[in-house]
Structures are given as C-alpha cells and as structure tokens.
Amino acid sequence: MSSTVLLQPQRTYRAALCMELTKPLVVQDVPSTSLQPHQVRIRVRCCGVNFADILACQGLYQDKPSLPFTPGMEFAGDVMETGMGVTNVKEGDRVIGVTSTNALAEEYVADSKLLWAIPQKIPYEDAAALPVSYGTAILALEHRAQTQPGETVLVTAAAGATGLAVVDVATHVLKAKVIAAAGSDKKCHLALQKGAFQSVNYSETSLREEVKKLTANKGVDVVIDTIGGDIFKEALHSLAWEGRIVVVGFAGGTIPSIPANLLLLKNISALGVYWGRYRDEDFSVFSSTLSSAVLHCQEGRIKPHVGAVFKLEEVNEAFAHVTQRKSTGKVVISIT
C-alpha cells in the first residue's frame, strides 16, 4: 500500500517587475525564497522611489540587472523571519534597509547587516524616505565637502528628494546657510520652508549672477549639484576661494566637463559622491550616514518631505510623476 505525500503550495508575494527595458512595470505574484543563515525576510510596508530605479528600468543606470528584475533601493518594514545566524534583529522589529534592486514588493530578503532599526515614532513613509536621500546628503555635506557651521551651501534641484534632504541637513544639523536653487517659484518656496535662507529660480534668471548678488560677490563655500549640464557650470563659477563642489548626479541628462583652470585659480575642489559604492568600499562610512539619519530624525532635527504616496499597483504612475518633474521631496510606494 503506497502512501501519499501532500506537497504544500509554494508561498508567493506581489512584486513590481521590469520585464522589458523602457516598458511599463508589471505587478504580479512571484515565489518566496528560502533564507540563508545571514538573511532576514522583511514584510515591506513602504518603498522609496529613486531616479536610479527609473534609469535601471530604462537600461541607463551604471548597474544593469538581468531581466526580469524588481527595482527598488530603499524600504521600511517589519521583520517576518530571520536566518539562523542573525543576531542584530528579531521577528517583529521595524527596520529600514538598502539594496540595489528588489525592494518594490510585498516581501524582501535582506542581508542582516544592511538593516537599521527604526524607532516607533517614525512612520513607515518617513523611514522609507531616509536611506538614499539623507544618506547621500550627509555623505556629501559632512564626509566629502567637510561643511562647517556658518558656511554657505548652494543646492541645485533643491525641491527634489536629495535637494530637500541637503537643505534639511545643512540647515538643521550643520548650521550652514543654504541658497536653494530650483526651476520654479513653487519649488523655491518649498525649499525656503525647509530652512533655506535664500532661493534662486534658475528657469527665470542666471544662477551665477543671482548667487553673486546674494553673497556680495564672495560666492558660496559648498555646492551640492544633482543636475549637471549648464547649471553645474554656473554653480562651479559661483564658488568662493577654496570652495568645494560635490557632484551627486546628472538629472539634467548632460554630463559636464570641468575646466581645470577654474580649480587652479580659486583653489577649489571638485568631488564626487556615489553613496551606494561606499557599501562595498567603506562600510563604516556607509553605515554611519544611515545611523545618523535615523538619529537626527528620531530627535526631530530633520523631517523627510514625502511629496506623494502611490500604491504598488500604481508604480508606473509613480515613476511618471518623477520623470515628468511633478514631484517634490520623496515619492513613496505604500505596500499594504
């Protein structure tokens, strides 16, 4: 007499999948995977949307995952299950995490060392907005530019996720003076509300000339630029003696060249920030930026600006909201 073995159906969860580059994402069920000893299964509650996610789905990001893949670089959620070797978190803990892909889903399997506890007082939406934008802002301002209290910081795309994070950290943590540069009066006003003391609408006036006026021809000590192109060049010319310009990205689409004679004449420095690379090259620095962001948020010194919240099924609308430049601050996907 033979016995019958009843196989348990494999558990699945919903995820946003990039099936083909430049095409809309598809939300569908995917199978859960087993945990390795160092891994943690997260029930994702919110996922931040980054321009890098969109570039990856267009095949334009420096990291090119194999198709099909799930985008998503930062998330907030709850620990569902831990591997046998995990000691830093336990089931039920609220955590934020960072990855290169796979976070835009109901469930994510994380390396335990890439998780940080979030206090109960920080909502999931705010927590999901912290890692990339505030990690980048803290790294750019503190570690790379060595920004000092009282210095003047010029921020381009100041109403974007990283821009507002820079305004927030520079003003409320480092006690610097921020000039916010953005492409509309509405965006400039938002940056002023966040703590900037002056603003420039560079769609209507020359950034270089306005900075001259605002600084009595002295220039700024630090520039944090995410745009590139002509705006970068104007910002570079706006630096004071021994100023520092930090290249964060090229949202404008054009990668500029740097005239070396400018570096020489004013003794200025041009620096780069690729925050995610620190995860592999200098993890202590990478980790400290996230720990600092959580601590500053917990203590009320910073407050992420979540400009829009979409459901997982609305992921394509969320991406369009960013690419059409309708967004301010961080766009978040809520996964219920």
> The CATH number of the domain where 236 resides is what?
3.40.50.720
Say whether both 83 and 218 belong to one domain.
no
Can you give the pLDDT at residue 159?
95
Can you give the pLDDT at residue 224?
98
Residue 307 CA to residue 315 CA, distance in Å, equals 15
The answer to the question of residue 100 being in a domain is no
The answer to the question of residue 159 being in a domain is yes
Say whether both 125 and 146 belong to one domain.
no
Which residues sit opposite 78 in a β-bridge?
A: 43, 94
Can you give the pLDDT at residue 237?
96
Say whether both 149 and 255 belong to one domain.
yes
71: CATH = 3.90.180.10
Say whether both 118 and 151 belong to one domain.
no
| Residue-wise pLDDT tens digits, 216-225 | 999 999 999 9
Read off the tokens for 258.
Answer: 């740097």
Q: How many domains does the chain have?
A: 2
Say whether both 269 and 151 belong to one domain.
yes
Judge residue 112's burial from the number of C-beta atoms within 10 Å of its C-beta, 0-12 exposed, 13-18 middle, 19 or more buried. buried
| Residue-wise pLDDT tens digits, 67-102 | 999 999 999 999 999 999 999 999 999 999 999 899
The answer to the question of residue 4 being in a domain is no
Residue 145 CA to residue 278 CA, distance in Å, equals 16
Say whether both 176 and 266 belong to one domain.
yes
φ/ψ region of 121 (left if φ > 0, alpha if ψ in -120 to 50, else beta) reads: alpha
pTM: 0.93
Residue 328 CA to residue 307 CA, distance in Å, equals 5
Can you give the pLDDT at residue 254?
87
The boundaries of the domain holding residue 59 are: 38-89+106-129+305-336
Residue 306 CA to residue 331 CA, distance in Å, equals 6
Judge whether 308 and 287 are in contact, CB under 8 Å. no
Ranges of residues in the chain whose predicted pLDDT is under 70: 1-9
Say whether both 136 and 121 belong to one domain.
no
* Nearest 10 degrees: Cα torsion 49, 52, 53, 57: 150
Can you give the pLDDT at residue 270?
97
Read off the tokens for 194.
Answer: 């966040």
